[in-house]
Amino acid sequence: MTGFGIAIFFFILFLAFWVLFFLATVAVPYWVTLGAFDMLRPKKVLEEDSDTPEEA
């Protein structure tokens, strides 16, 4: 039973390592890049006309 507990511990550790690896190499850079592009892009035409009433 002790060997099973050690195996589960290392399995969870292995999964956590790969999740952190994915977040550090893919998800966080993707999120930062999208945020930078969103801040640097010119405003859309629809956002400039937001004070006019919508037509039904």
Choice between 38 and 30, residue whose per-residue pLDDT is larger:
30
Q: In the chain, pLDDT over 90 holds for what percent of residues?
A: 61
| Average confidence score pLDDT of the chain | 85
pTM here is 0.59
3-state secondary structure of 34: helix
Task: Specify burial of residue 5 (Cβ count, 10 A radius: 0-12, 13-18, 19+).
Answer: exposed
pLDDT at 20 over 90: yes
Report the pLDDT value the prediction gives residue 38, as an integer from 0 to 100: 87
